Amino acid sequence: MLVCAYIVMAVVFIYSMIKMKRSLHMIQQNLYNENNRYLRWISKNRKEIYKNLDVYGIVFVFCYAWCFNTYVSFYFFGLIIALYLISTIINIKSRQNDQNKKPLVITARVKRLIVTTSVLYLIPCLLGIFIKSNLCDFIFLLSIMAVLNFYVVYLASVINIPIEKMIYHHYEKQAKEKLASMKNLKVIGITGSYGKTSCKNVLADVLNIKYNTLASPKSINTFNGLMITINNELTKFDDCFIAEMGAYVKGEINGLCKLVNPKYGIITSIGTAHLETFGSEKNIQEGKMELIEYLPKDGVGVLNRDDEKQKNYKIKKKDHCKILWVGIDSKDEVDVKALNIKCSNEGTTFDCVFKGDKKKYQFKTKLLGKHNVYNIISALALGREWGIEIDKLQQAVKKIKPIEHRLEIKKFNNFYQLDDAYNSNPVGAKAALDVLDMMNGEKVVITPGMVELGEKEEYYNREFGKQIAEVADRVILVGEKKTKPILQGLKDMKFNEKDIKVINDVREAYTILNKINSKKNVYALFENDLPDTYNEK
């Protein structure tokens, strides 16, 4: 009987280790519970946290403990082994079928979390081995921990806080000392509610025409991410460092500024992204403008005159930095203005006028959309401020590479994909629809909607549905529950319900698209992707 008990313990332990991968993935995607993001995710996903098979496991283990040392316990022993074997297979297969936009990255921090979590699971196992009289109690405790795996990982992260703080402060000091030693390095901060990564990549491509420029990679915009970039990638050969800055609450941008100490700053846009964590639109506005408030008197800030929240903001600093204004629609005078914007499946062309120069200069780019033109003219404003010639700026803009999953155009069998799947928000979604509207052909929108918009999430998704109705010929909604407000918005606009399909796996959309028989070109906008923390399957 003792051998059977140890086998049960081993099986439950192995199952917990396999299940832990999902918990680690979610705590990493929720920034290790920064601002209680992970705990909020748990509260919204109770069906995944408390699976029926896990609960049955507790029941069988309890029955096994109750019947221990009797013939009946062998039946429960078999049931436990079978149940956890089935649970393990289901768990592994479900993870294989997941569409991970951001797969789990086994960083040093994750490795430390794995060790601490494993130790927590080993405690009841070791106690059971050494205190044999209470062996079944410890097996029962272990099975409860298997059910509460997501909370056990959270507990491990709390235990690790002192270690993480020590490591954090060490690398923070190292990064600050490195930046301080590079006296001639030009440091640019970029923030905003939307378009930070796109603007950062555009600026890097533009500045590289004259300067060796390092930009924080991919979508890295947190304190830890910037520290790692500075410590591992910044070299003495770099002339410029572009730091993308993300924030969920007021004060975070100011904290990032204290790390990288920027002299130049660009605000892309100020909207409602992360309204839930900021608490109000005013907090978002003030939070983003912390970058401009931080810049020194001899610094330069680039702002968008078409953005009312930037235009109406009163800078509190008396001796604030020089401000360069860019715009497209504004009737007010700006330093860089874009005109005559035209989009096609080959990219975008536009004319540009610089303050003090009446001549119009034409620019061509592979990027799509008005929002990308804003990013480009922001980069041009800083480029001109640094004395880069206009012909070189034209060359640089022509060479700008499209950014993966950010309104990237791709040709498939019988349709063009406008891939805007990385992220979505009210401003970006409308901009993507505007690009789709410019295309000459049959238009399809594929979307699961927008998230992290707080109390206004349902409102914005319903409005999004209305906007889609004005542009699209067909609509494919991904996720029946999340897309209900979009569906209602479509119905409000009397959109033909025969042209609406609801699916639960975005991959089904490709099958539907390939079956469209049209004499025109088919343009399919994939707006947002929510496979990890919002999966409805």
pLDDT higher than threshold 60 for residue 98 = no
Do 383 and 390 meet the contact criterion of CB atoms below 8 Å apart?
Answer: no
- Residue 321 maps to which CATH number? 3.40.1190.10
Q: Are residues 471 and 435 in the same domain?
A: yes
Mean of per-residue pLDDT scores for the chain: 88
Last residue in a domain, options 374, 399, 424:
399
Q: In degrees rounded to 5, what are phi and psi of residue 406?
A: -125, 80
The confidence band for 73, taking pLDDT boundaries of 50, 70 and 90, is: low
- Is residue 536, in this structure, part of any structural domain at all? no
Domain interval for residue 238: 170-399
- CA pair distance 264, 295, nearest whole angstrom: 7
Alpha carbons 447 and 429: distance in angstroms, whole number: 10
In-domain check, residue 382: yes
- What pLDDT, in 10s, does the model give residues 202-244? 999 999 999 999 999 988 899 989 999 999 999 999 999 999 9
How far is residue 157's CA from residue 138's CA, in Å, rounded to a whole number?
A: 23
H or E element: which one contains 393? Answer: helix 390-399
Q: Does residue 394 sit in the same domain as residue 423?
A: no
pLDDT tens profile 272-329: 777 778 889 999 999 999 999 999 999 999 999 999 999 999 999 888 999 999 999 9
Q: Is the pLDDT of residue 172 over 70?
A: yes
Do 15 and 80 lie in one domain? The reply is yes
Residues 233 and 363 both lie in one domain: yes
The verdict on residue 247 lying in a domain is yes
> For the residues of 108-169, what is the DSSP string, one character each?
HHHHHHHHHHHHHHHHHHHHHHH-GGGHHHHHHHHHHHHHTHHHHHHHHHHHTHHHHHHHHH
Cα–Cα distance, 232 to 173 (Å, whole number): 14
531 pLDDT tier (thresholds 50, 70, 90): very low
The percent of residues above 70 in pLDDT, for the chain, comes to 91
Are residues 311 and 183 part of one domain?
Answer: yes
Domain shared by 146 and 254, yes or no: no
CA dihedral (265, 266, 272, 274) in degrees, to 10, reads: -50
Domain count, the chain: 3
Comparing 43-57, 110-124, 145-159, 160-174, which segment has the lowest mean pLDDT? 43-57
Q: Supply the CATH number for residue 496's domain.
A: 3.90.190.20
Considering the domain architecture, whether residues 209 and 358 belong to the same structural domain is answered as: yes
Q: Are residues 117 and 205 in the same domain?
A: no
One domain, residues 287 and 393: yes
Q: Does residue 534 lie in a domain region? A: no
Which of 114, 129, 159 terminates a domain? The answer is 159
The pLDDT tens digits for 443-455 are 999 999 988 777 8
Does residue 532 form part of some domain? Answer: no
Residue 216 domain-assigned (yes or no): yes
What distance in Å separates the CA atoms of residue 367 and residue 365, rounded to the nearest whole number? Answer: 5
pLDDT of res. 532: 47
Q: Give residue 44's pLDDT band: very low, low, confident or very high (50, 70, 90).
A: confident
Over residues 359-374, mean pLDDT = 93
Does 164 fall in a domain? no
The residue among 369, 399, 429 that closes a domain is 399
Domain membership flag for residue 537? no
* pLDDT greater than 90 at residue 339: yes
Query: Computed from CA positions of residues 71, 73, 74, 76, in that sequence, does the dihedral angle turn out positive or negative?
Result: positive
CA distance 207 to 397: 10
pTM of the model: 0.75
| Torsion angle (degrees, nearest 10) of CA 452, 458, 463, 465 | 100
Are both 326 and 457 inside the same structural domain?
A: no
501 and 441 housed in the same domain = yes
Tokens representing 494 are: 């009397």
Q: Which of 153-162, 279-288, 390-399, 528-537 has the lowest mean pLDDT?
A: 528-537
Calculate mean pLDDT across residues 95-110.
73
149 and 294 together in one domain: no
What is the greatest pairwise CA distance in the chain? 95
